[in-house]
Structures are given as structure tokens and as C-alpha cells.
Structure 1
Amino acid sequence: MNLNNKTLLITGISGFIGLRATELAMAQGMKVCGLQDSSDKNKKAQNLGAKVIYGSVTDPTAAQKACLGVDIVLHTDELAKEGGSLDKFRERNVEGTVNIAKAAKNAGVKTFVHLSSVLVYGFNYPDRITEDGPLRGEDNPYCQTKIEAEKALLELNDPGNFGIIIIRPGDVYGPGSIPWTIRPLMMMKQKLFAYANDGRGVINHVYVDNLIDAIFLAIEKEAYGEIFNVTDGQETTWKEYFTHLAEVAGLAAPFSLPKDELKLFLKLRYQGQKLFRKEADLLPEVVDFMTRPYAYSIAKAQNRLNYQPTIDLKEGMRLTQEWLKKTDLQKFVQ
């Protein structure tokens, strides 16, 4: 498929990935529109030239309106937290995903790309796990609902009429990434950030531009019914990543705590925030997310899509550093 002059709808367009996808899609000659939650007043996508419809992916009327005249949907909208109510996760991540997919199919959209997550494999998985590997919900609402959404979407796959592509990104970092750039740096500034067990294990980072390159390749090759793991393909320890992140921000290297101690600290912190009716910024479950042990295989994306990550960690951190020099991180957490 030639992407030039195609109309792309991005759900969650004002988010970190949505905004960068908007910029890169327009650079490829695509027309971009977006569906964004009405509570989000961010005008950045509109300032880039995208037409934005305000409404929820769970609203059939808003979904139908957004999909009119669209060739491709990139579904990035999600509830992404370390824990919480399964019902709330299911409403957004499963029901919302199915709703926008059905609206797209009814509107004649040919390609639907769903941004899932490598967390469908859970926290304890085999080294170099492939897309065929076992899926584990781990009693975690994010992991569980990402698995449920994938299953529901694949039932709608109808190549030639309505093709589904599922992308399972690793840990997406870069300018604007809340979990892997902004939040760790904010906590480092407060001297509250620690990694677990001396930072052993592997962070499967993917620079945001590499991820979007893989998405565009999958669309161009019309890889319908297929699932792809997408990371930078580097084996970087958690310690190496967060030490490097601290360096580019001019901060002291973070310290380490045993996993159980770190979980206890975050549990007590969470209980204190609840006591003072403050919104929790970090849940104890984050430790499970940040102690995954192995790398995921990206061989399928490399072989099937000719995906080759062009921005390695050194360059990704340099680009992030340039962004940090001109950005007030505080505005992202207010």
C-alpha cells in the first residue's frame, strides 16, 4: 500500500505516540485526523494540521463520525497504568477497542492497526519470546485487557475488506514518554527513584520513531492478521538505561533496592497518598513492570517487514537530551 495521500485516523492523537505519529505521517504525505477524549484540551495535534474530533472511543456516535472518509486507523488510545479496576480497564481497552474497530469496518476503512503491548506475555516469560509465545494476564488489569483486546480484534480480521494488524511495542521512550522518560526523571530530581535488584534484567526499549517506522512498514506490506513484537533489538539492563537517562538530564545516578523493599516502599507511599486524598502517581505493581528479565524477539518484524531500527539507544538519548533542554517537565505531571 502506498501511504501517500491516504487518510489516517489516530485515536488518542494528543498522546506521546499519537503526536509523533501525526508528525511522521504528515511527512510521508498522509492526511491525518484524530479522535481524542473530550477531557483533553491539548491542541498540539490541531496545531500540527490534524483535524481532531473530541469524543471517547467507547462512544459509538463519536467513533462512527471519526471513521468517515478514513483509509487507515491507528489505534493508540488506551488506559495504561500499572494497576486499578479491571472493569475500568476493560471498558477502555477492550470495549473501546472493539467499538472503534467496528465503526471503522462499517465506514469502509481497509486497515486497522492496534497498538497492543509486549506486556501480553506477562512478567515472567522465556528469553527471546516470539509472537507465538504464551500470553499471561498475571492478574494485572493492563496485561489482561491487552490480551482480551487482541483476541476480539482478530475475530474481526477480514483481509481484502478489513485488515487487522497488531503491534506489540516494547518500552517506548523518547521526548514526551511519561513512563520511561518523564516520570523517572521527575522522581530522580526528588531523589525518590530506585531500580530493583541492582538493575538486573532487560528493558526492551524502543525509540518512538523506530516504533512508528515499524507501523508504517506493516501498513505498506498489508500484513493483515499478523502480530509483531517491536523493540530496538538491544539488550540493555535496567541499570544501564536509567543511568544513561540520568546522565543526559544532568542528574545523579539512581540507586538500587531489593525488589521486595522497593515494593514495600511504594505500597506505603501509595497508602499515604490515599490518606491525604492525593492521586497516586506510582503503584507498587510498577516494580513488576520494571524487573522483567529477558529480551523479546523481533525476528518476525525484521524478516516479514524488513524492520531495522535506525535510532539506537545512544542516539535516542541524545535526541531526548535535546528535547529536555527546551522542555519544562513539570507541565506533564500537573
Structure 2
Amino acid sequence: MNASTVLVTGGSGFLGGALLRTLASQKEYSLRTALRRDCKSLPASVRAFNVPGLTPTVDWQAALVDVDVVVHAAARVHVMDEQSGDPLTEFRLVNVEGTLNLARQAVKAKVRRFIYISSIKVNGESTVPGRAFTADDPFSPVDPYGISKCEAEEALRQLVSSTSMELVIIRPVLVYGPGVKANFLSMIRWLDRGVPLPFGAIVNKRSLVSLDNLIDLILTCFSHPAAANQTFLASDGEDVSTTELLMKIGRALNKPARLLPFPVAFMRLGAKLLGREAIAQRLFGSLQVDISKNLRLLGWVPPMSLDQGLNATVQAYLESQK
């Protein structure tokens, strides 16, 4: 492994923090991260640089000195209670212009490889049964977040095309693992409390990726020669329906999942009337990805199964409740 000094942006986030902890445990890297505020949970070996957010004017020079690999995991993500009257502009400011500012300075600093953590939303919001997304499909982003990640990808490809810096783009599906929050944590809590849920008759298929599997793919992309200037999708390689997922989480909790077989069409109508169509799509729609390119080019297969990933996630949840 040639990598020595690694800069991870978003080091206080779900993915960035876990990646830094994994790298620190291997003791093979000099680690840096960039943060807007102090983070007490960082490993002691990580050198932190304070930055005023991912803006187009941040000076990254000090953080990039002698850096071999940049993992850019920081981004403006979904805002549940969006206050901006023009959210696309806000997403572009951070996810496109802020990212390009970092990448341009990385080129000047002679960074060898720039790993950009994108999103499956670049591919689109849903798939039809039996037709999974691939890394080389045409782009079809829908919401402002997905559009901004797509534009960042295209701008990065254009930037590196005339430089020696290598670009790797990774598009994860929904990431779960110890410390997961938002809707995934809510599902675990509902099942832990024995709340009856009307999700017993959902026959969709969705891909997910555990934190450990995503980190393993990122580490593979640090130095694998075939990863240079490629795009990869990230998943566990196992697709499940929402009903199957809830049942698996229930088994990990050692509690029955109380799932009622409500008609999906009825629930979709209710979600539409309440303006919650996006949530309905995630619960009832399909989103599958094909990761065969990862095996073909990198020899990579997910080291952790879906059940193992869910068990680790649930055990961390149970420990947090003590």
C-alpha cells in the first residue's frame, strides 16, 4: 500500500467518523480531517483542521500538504425542514462549488487519488423489478440533492481529465450500521417497542449497504490500479423487501416484528394526500443496484452479509439503551 497521508472530509459524520476510526485502528496512515467544529470522538491520532464549512472559498492548503488520498465525504445532505426558497442553489453552492474548490486545490497539492462519495440518487429514485441500476447507466437525478451530486461528478471528471490526479466515484445506496440515525433508527425503535406496523405485505426490492462494507470498498479504492477514474455503486449485494427488512431487524432484536398486511395502494394514497410521497417511495418502491462491476474490476465482494450488518447495527442500538 502506497498511501501514507489521508484527508477525510466530514470526519464528524456517520461515514467519515467510522472511516477515520477504521483507518486509525490499522495504524498504517497519517490521518487528517476537516471539521466546522471540534469533535471529541475523533481518534487521538487524527489531526483536525477547522474549516468554515464546505464553501467555494475555503483555503485547504495546510490540510493538503503531502496528502496522498482525499476521501471527500462531506456534503450538504437532505434537509427535512428546508427553509431555503431555492434549495438547488444551496445544494450547488456546497456540493458542486465547494467540492470543486477542494478538488482544484488537491490537484495543485499533487494529491494522487480523490475519492468522491456521491449518491445513488445520481442514477435515480427507483428501479423496476429485475432492472437494477449499474454504475454506467445514464444519469437521472430528481431532487436538488441528487442533481447537485450529479453535477459535482461531471465537474470532477472534467477537472481531472487534464491532470494527473485520479478520481474514484462511489455511489452508496442507503447506508446503515452502528450509530445509524433518521428513519432507519426509527424502524429499530418501533420494532423494539413492539409497535404494530402496517408493512406486512410489501413486495418491493431494495439494496442497502452496511457501514463496514462501504468502508471496505473505500479502502479497496485507495490503491487498486483498476479503480482509477471509475465509478462504483455500493451495496451489500443482497436485496430485500421492506417487509423482509423489518422481519430481519426483529430477529436481530430477538422480538417478533408485528407487521399488519395493509394494502400498499391504500397506504400510497394516504401518503399522497399527506404530501409524503417521497417517504412512500422509499417504503414501497424498489431501488436495486448491480455491483458486479466491483467484482469484475476490483475483485471486491462485500465482506459482511446483510444479516451480519443488521445484527451489528441492532447490537450497537441495544448497547446505547443501557
Calculate the TM-score normalised by the size of structure 1.
0.82
Corresponding residue for 1:175?
178
Q: Alignment partner for residue 47 of structure 2, among 43, 47, 51?
A: 51
2:282 and 2:36 map into 1 onto residues whose CA distance is 26
Gaps of 5+ in 1: 271-282, 330-334
Q: In structure 2, how many angstroms separate the alpha carbons of the residues matched to 1:198 and 1:82?
A: 30
* Residue of structure 1 aligned with 2:153, choices 147, 150, 153: 150
1:327 maps to which residue?
320
| Structure 1 counterpart of 2:74, from 73, 77, 86 | 77
Shift of 1:37: 2.5
SS in 1 for 2:243: helix
Structure 2 residue identity aligned to 1:7: T
Tell me if the contact between 1:113 and 1:164 (Cα under 8 Å) persists in the aligned partners. Answer: yes
Matched, 1:208 2:211: yes
Q: Secondary structure at the match of 1:60?
A: coil
Partner Cα distance (2:136, 2:17) in 1: 31
Contact 1:110 1:160 in 2 (8 A): no
Q: CA deviation at 1:305?
A: 0.7
Do the aligned residues in 1 keep the contact of 2:120 with 2:171 (CA within 8 Å)?
A: yes
CA 1:43/1:161 → structure 2, altered by over 3 Å: closer, same or farther? same
Which residue does the alignment assign to 1:25?
A: 23
1:314 aligns with 2:312: no
- Asked whether the equivalents of residues 174 and 316 of structure 1 are also in contact (C-alpha less than 8 Å), the reply is yes
Specify the alignment match of 1:276 in structure 2: none
Deviation at 1:315, TM superposition (A): 1.2
* Identity rate, percent: 25
SS in 2 for 1:228: strand
Instruction: Report the CA distance shift for 1:310/1:284 in structure 2 as closer, same or farther (over 3 A).
Output: same
Match of 2:166 among 163, 167, 191: 163
Tell me which residue corresponds to 1:239. Answer: 243
Q: Could you say if the C-alpha distance between residues 129 and 193 of structure 1 is closer, same or farther in structure 2, counting changes exceeding 3 Å?
A: farther
Q: Confirm whether residue 112 of structure 1 aligns to residue 114 of structure 2.
A: yes
Q: Distance in 1 between matches of 2:172 and 2:182?
A: 14
Deviations 1:60-86 (A, max 9, x none): 334333222311110111222276422
Cα distance in 2 between the residues matched to 1:9 and 1:325: 32
Cα 1:160/1:143, change in 2 over 3 Å: closer
Q: Deviations over 1:256-295 (max 9, x none)?
A: 6536635745974x8xxxxxxxxxxxx6523333444242
- In structure 2, how many angstroms separate the alpha carbons of the residues matched to 1:193 and 1:16? 29
CA contact (8 A) 1:112 1:163 kept: yes
Report the CA distance shift for 1:160/1:153 in structure 2 as closer, same or farther (over 3 A): closer
The residue number in structure 2 matching 1:61 is 58
The TM-score with structure 2 as length reference comes to 0.84
Q: Say which SS state the counterpart of residue 101 (structure 2) adopts.
A: helix
For 1:81 and 1:188, the matched residues in 2 are separated by 25
The secondary structure found in structure 1 opposite 2:201 is helix
The 10-residue stretch of structure 1 (192-201 or 26-35) with the greater mean CA deviation from structure 2: 192-201
SS in 2 for 1:78: coil
CA distance in 1, matches of 2:192, 2:79: 22
**Preserved CA contact (<8 Å) 2:172 2:234:** yes
For residue 202 of structure 1, report the CA deviation from its aligned partner.
1.8
- Whether contact under 8 Å (1:11, 1:57) holds in the other structure is no
* Alpha-carbon distance change, 263 to 91 in structure 1, aligned in 2, over 3 angstroms: farther
